[in-house]
Amino acid sequence: MTNDHTFIVGPPRRHSSSSPLVATAASFGVAIDELGELRIAHVRGDLDEHQISVLGDALLADAPESDEVGKWWTPAQDQPAHAGTVIETGLRPGVTDREGAELVRAATELGLPVDAATIGTRWIVTPSDLSDEDLATLARRVLHNEVIERWHTGSLAPGFVDDAGADDHVATIALEGLDDAQLAELNGRRRLGLDPEEMVAIRDHFTELGRAPTDAELETLAQTWSEHCAHKTFRAHIDVVDGAGAVVDQVDGLLKSYLRAATDEIDAPWVRSAFVDNAGIVEFDADHDIALKAETHNHPSALEPFGGANTGVGGVVRDILGVSAKPIAVSDILCFGPTDLPVAELPEGVLHPHRIRDGVIAGVGDYGNKIGVPNIAGAIVHDDAYTTTPLVFAGCIGILPTGSNPTNAQPGDAIVVLGGAVGRDGVGGATFSSQTMQAETAEVAGSSVQIGDPIVEKGLIDVVLAARDAQLYTAITDCGAGGLSSSVGEMAETLGADVDLQLVPRKYQGLAPWEVWLSEAQERMVVAAPDPEPVVELARRWSVGASVIGRFTGEGRLVVRNGDDTVIDLDCGFLHDGRPRRHMTAMAPATGRPERTSLDLDADQVGALTLQLLAHPSIRSNESVLRTYDHEIQGGTVVRPYGGIECDGPADGTTTIPQGTSGDRAMVIGIGVNAVIGRHDAEAMAWHVVDEAVRNSVIGGADPNQLSLLDNFAWGNPTDPETLGSLVAACRGCHDAALAFGAPFVSGKDSLYNVFVGPDGTPDPVAPTLVLTAVGLCSHPELVPLTGVVDAGDDVWFIGPIDGWLGGSHLDEVLGADHGGAVPMPDAGAVARHHEMAAAIAAGLVRSAHDPSEGGIAVAAAEWAHAGRLGVDLDVLATPEVLFGEGSGRYLVEVAPGDAERFAALAPSATRIGSTIADPEVRLAGATITLDEVYAAYVDADATGGRS
């Protein structure tokens, strides 16, 4: 097309033979000397030569021109010689392209007639004689992701969305008379993800009405009734059977019987709201509440790691905004396969763990950094079990003036959508995330995966908080999975609503009405406003889109029109309560573990195993990852994920004084996660991770009398009785542990169907994984223990039983085999020890502390010494149980010798086991490990790559 212009922006960024990209190519068998990377801009508009030059100079080139900075040129002009083969990559039309959009905006400001723009990349590959096959491998495996991008050898044609013209077609789908097989066929063809009983209920409902549902009605029901939105496994009636098939237990809903039951029974006075809104809300101080939420974004992250993780953070931040809170912290717990997995062992249809890891980390960082919310808590776990099903847990915490989240929409209130416009990307995410993944899922589900636009969400935060403070809305929610269908649908649950889809802003024409209604276009919030005008005006002030799309009616029907055509007319009662309850069967897990094989350790083995453990991928430092996250913005961070004298030792809990509060109270986040124990005993794992989250928060200064919990389950296919059996056991463990600790669950999220079905049909389920987040309050931020040993000559105390458990331990991970033995058993006695520790901290007696978790006392002592650049000398027995055992309610504590008596009085469970020393070494049961050795094993020297 004559008015499409291509700009190439130099100089190339050069990826040499030592760069991660070239190394990744080599792992796929493609040998490259060097990769050059140039940006290209495709611009559509009627530009003359002068205007082309103005655009290039003002918007693309980096003035001034010198050898070091950028120039631009068009293909018609002379180009610097770049020997090599050219591959170009670019976003698929319609994928969020913030840079392209900004180029159009800026060019328009400059008076240039630009209609559209998109940004891509030109790669220059040397040597230039690679085979077509090698070039294709390079493009597919290293340079682009086909889910969101295109590639071409040589110049890539500009990818603009063709305005296809309006598509107002509303299809109806005849259901009357369909038998079970026909319903199943329809269910599969439209990827509705519904149960057979649900298809029958929908058929019968419309048969009774005497009409066929529209496509939009059927899709709305599928979204609303999806596992993602309806949590139907967690609400199901479950028969638990034994090996002989006899029913041994019945569960009247996991959520009701276990998680909510614990919260109801604890009846904590600090809980303002639990399980009802987008996020749980608990008291912070006399004037403020905090809102908590943790989410999963596993399926999208497996397909498009950057976009999946990016929108995962965006989604959970909107959950917090959806209860009118200002986001003040994000967390991320990431589970990946081994990054050194040989390419030959990579299943078809699966991205390499290294690429998933890099993309996810870049996606998490990009979103949090750009919206200006510090990332201050997290963990990275590596295990074979996560190769085909990586897990991405994203959490967010917000703060709001006490009682400032209105939840009382009224008939007649306007429905206002704030934020971005709708496109075809992100249609069907809720149903997609509620099904198992297969090798070809990347192709069919590509439209379910999106790229976030954090800048829009930053604007949304400003608008919503200003609107909240001006009391401009009566209810608010976010547009997540299911788009308007779930957000407006939920808000209208009792009132009913009337919406005109023609009022919904779109990125481009050609969307069918049901797509507009269902699209999960990111960065949108919905508010109910008695008077929408001031809301729209606020949004304009902050450069955020706002549209009034309808009103709440009070008539109890969900009515959606497209101009004059009725697209949806559903009874809210059927939509929200018409789903038949699931009945499921769970197999009670086998209990009992083989006896532990005994293992004698000499001093050399103690040293070697400690160093091996320190280098274990789930234990080794991830500081370089954290450095790519802004953990300082908002100025509240007191304890960071890495601390100590060089800020490179691992902290336990992280502590924040929220901006705008009095300053004498802090919020503490503690996280517990374990990849191994759940495979042996899910109930014990639940206790174990609750305890880990609690002790981390206690070290961060939290009062164990006022903790609130978030649960995140990532399990396999719950229709498999064994999988469901372990889920039931984990929920029971959560319930019992929460009661023991007096810590209520306030919100949570279950992610099921984390199963990859390979090309040969073999299911590969994820390891049952439970992430627990404990959030607590600290009324003495100045007394929070430091990270890492503070001074030589102090006493080292140990709180708790010195013998840990070795079943499911990281020791067995590095030994490469399960040597039997019990996993860490539920230990209600840990509760008292947490209180002892907290009392000692509150008395100002704890100089520093560390939690023995993965790798036990040996690893904890080494990390602790490393963080403080001082030694420790521990007089303990050289048994594997003492050195490497893992367990609950245990702490390493540094106390000044003069405080010994007071400390011992406050912590009767504590034993003095050694002292801190000036020599930079860890002395442990006869072994001596130098801090240089610890550094070499533990510290992550990698510079992280990835997109910025």
Partner 1 sequence: MTPKVLIPVALGTNRDHDLAEAFALAGAEPHAVPLTALRSGEVSMADFQILAVPGGFSYGDALGAGRLFGLDLAGWFGDELHAAVERGVPVIGICNGFQALVRTGLLPGDVPSVLTENERATFECRWVTLGAEPANESAWLRDLSEPIRCPIAHGEGRFMSSDLAAVEARGGVALHYLDADGQRAHGAYPANPNGSPGDVAGVTDASGLVLGLMPHPENHVRDHQDPLRGRPGASGNALPLFRAGVAAAG
The residues annotated as belonging to the active site are 228, 297
Q: Which of residues 288-307 bind partner 1 (CB under 8 A)?
A: none
- 542 lines the binding site for partner 1 (CB under 8 A): yes
The encoded tokens of residue 186 equal 């329809």
Can you tell me which of 211, 596, 627, 780 binds partner 1, judged by CB under 8 A?
A: 627
Nearer to partner 1, 702 or 728 (CB): 702
Q: State the binding string over 496-535 for partner 1 (x if CB under 8 A, else -).
A: ----------------------------------------
Nearest to 694 by CA among 708, 676, 683, 714: 708
Q: Does 44 bind partner 1 (CB under 8 A)?
A: no
Applying CB under 8 A, the span of 133-141, 497-505, 539-547, 849-857 interacting with partner 1 comes to 539-547
49 binds partner 1 (CB under 8 A): no
Asked if 540 is part of the footprint of partner 1 (rule: CB under 8 A), the reply reads yes
Is 73 among the residues that bind partner 1 (CB under 8 A)?
A: no
Q: How far apart are the C-alpha atoms of 620 and 648, rounded to whole Å?
A: 11
- Residue of the chain from 429, 617, 781, 807 that contacts partner 1 (CB under 8 A): 781
23 binds partner 1 (CB under 8 A): no
If one asks whether residue 453 binds partner 1 (CB under 8 A), the answer comes out as yes
Name residues contacting partner 1, limited to 74-103 (CB under 8 A).
98-99, 101-103
Which of 169-177, 448-456, 605-613, 755-763 is the region at the interface with partner 1 (rule: CB under 8 A)? 448-456
Interface with partner 1, residue 458, by CB under 8 A: yes
Decide if residue 941 touches partner 1 (CB under 8 A): no
Give the residue ranges of DSSP H helices in 681-763.
682-699, 721-741
Nearer to partner 1, 64 or 269 (CB): 64
Q: What is the CA radius of gyration of the chain?
A: 28
Choose between 346 and 867: whose C-beta lies nearer to partner 1. Answer: 867
By CB under 8 A, tell whether 454 contacts partner 1. Answer: yes
Least distance (Å) from partner 1 to the CB of residue 473?
A: 20
> By C-beta, is 480 or 658 nearer to partner 1?
658
Q: How far is the CB of 164 from partner 1 (least distance, A)?
A: 27
CB–CB of 638/781 below 8 Å?
yes
Of the pair 60, 492, the CB lying nearest partner 1 is at 60
Q: C-beta of 870: minimal distance to partner 1 in Å?
A: 11
Site for partner 1 in 372-411 (CB under 8 A): 372
Cβ proximity of 148 and 449 under 8 Å: yes
58 near partner 1 (CB under 8 A): yes
| DSSP-assigned letters across all residues of 82-139 | --SEEEEEEEPTTS--HHHHHHHHHHHHTT--EEEEEEEEEEEEESTT--HHHHHHHI
Q: Would you say 484 and 390 are in contact if contact means Cβ atoms under 8 Å apart?
A: no
**Pick 128 or 659: Cβ nearer partner 1:** 659
For position 896 contacting partner 1 by CB under 8 A, the verdict is no
User: Which of the ranges 504-512, 626-634, 692-700, 836-844 carries the binding residues for partner 1, by CB under 8 A?
Assistant: 626-634
Token readout for 644 is 């100590």
The C-alpha atoms of residue 917 and residue 861 are separated, in whole angstroms, by 12
Q: Which of 46, 163, 632, 875 binds partner 1 (CB under 8 A)?
A: 632
- Residue of 818, 751, 923 lying closest to 228 (CA atoms): 751
Phi, psi of 587 (to 5 degrees): -95, 125
State in angstroms the smallest separation of the CB of 361 from partner 1. Answer: 10
Is residue 459 close enough to count as binding partner 1 by CB under 8 A? yes
Token code pair at residue 498: 């009337």
For 896, phi then psi, to 5°, come to: -65, 140
> Rounded to whole angstroms, how far apart are CA atoms 157 and 89?
10
How far is the CA of 508 from the CAs of 93, 103, 165, 216, 567, in angstroms?
11, 17, 9, 19, 20
CA distance 919 to 72: 57
Pick out residues in 572-611 that bind partner 1 (CB under 8 A): none
Q: Which of 647, 739, 792, 900 contacts partner 1 by CB under 8 A?
A: 647
Residue 305: which of 451, 520, 424 has the closest Cα?
451
- Nearest approach, Cβ of residue 78 and partner 1 (Å): 23
Minimum CB–partner distance for residue 394 and partner 1 (Å): 18
Stretch that binds partner 1, among 383-391, 500-508, 778-786, 916-924 (CB under 8 A): 778-786
59 binds partner 1 (CB under 8 A): yes
DSSP letter string over 14-29? EE-TTSHHHHHHHHTT
Q: Is 657 in the site for partner 1 (CB under 8 A)?
A: yes
Rounded to a whole number of angstroms, the minimum distance from the CB of residue 66 to partner 1 is 5
Name the E strands within 276-413. 280-283, 288-296, 326-336, 375-382, 391-401
C-beta closer to partner 1: residue 367 or 756 = 367
Residue 789, token pair as written in the block:
């040993």
Q: What is each CA distance from 10 to 103, 104, 268, 603, 668, in whole angstroms?
A: 17, 20, 60, 58, 46
Among 436, 486, 916, 944, the residue binding partner 1 under the rule CB under 8 A is 944
Nearest to partner 1 of 284, 713 (CB atom): 284
Q: Under a CB-based contact definition with an 8 Å cutoff, are residues 307 and 454 in contact?
A: no
Residue 66 binds partner 1 (CB under 8 A): yes
Work out whether 786 is an interface residue with partner 1 (CB under 8 A): yes
| In the complex, minimum distance from the CB of residue 149 to partner 1, in angstroms, rounded to a whole number | 18
Which residue number, 20 or 742, has a Cβ lying nearer to partner 1? 20
3 state SS of 277: coil
Contact between 699 and partner 1 by CB under 8 A: the answer reads no
Phi, psi for 664 (deg, rounded to 5): -100, 10
Among 23, 26, 106, 178, binds partner 1 (CB under 8 A): 106
Q: How far is the CB of 640 from partner 1 (least distance, A)?
A: 6
The per-residue b/e assignment along 302-326, b for 16 or more CB within 10 angstroms, e otherwise, is bbbbbbbbbbbbbbbbbbbbbbbbb
Instruction: Please report whether residue 946 would count as binding partner 1 according to CB under 8 A.
Output: yes
Q: Three-class SS of residue 723?
A: helix
* Rounded Cα distance, 556 and 725, in Å: 39
Burial environment of residue 267 by CB neighbours within 10 A (0 to 12, 13 to 18, 19 or more): exposed
Please identify, using beta-carbon distances, which residue of 104 and 614 lies nearer to partner 1. 104
From the CB of 59, what's the least distance to partner 1, in Å?
5
Are the CB atoms for 461 and 448 separated by under 8 Å? Answer: no
> By the 8 A CB rule, do 790 and 647 touch?
no
- 455 makes contact with partner 1 (CB under 8 A): yes
Q: C-beta of 313: minimal distance to partner 1 in Å?
A: 14
β 871-874/921-924 pair status:
parallel
369 binds partner 1 (CB under 8 A): yes
Total residues interacting with partner 1, rule: CB under 8 A: 64
Considering the complex, state which of residue 77 and residue 543 has its C-beta at the smaller distance from partner 1.
Answer: 543
Residue closest to 393 by CA, chosen among 444, 448, 330, 351: 330
* Helix/strand/coil percentages in the chain, nearest 5: 35, 25, 40
Among 637, 674, 809, 853, interactor with partner 1 by CB under 8 A: 637
3-class secondary-structure state, position 238: strand
Site residues, partner 1 (CB under 8 A): 13, 58-60, 62-64, 66, 68-69, 98-99, 101-103, 105-106, 109-110, 365, 369-372, 453-456, 458-459, 462, 540-543, 626-638, 640, 643, 645, 647, 657, 659, 663, 781-782, 786, 790, 943-946, 948
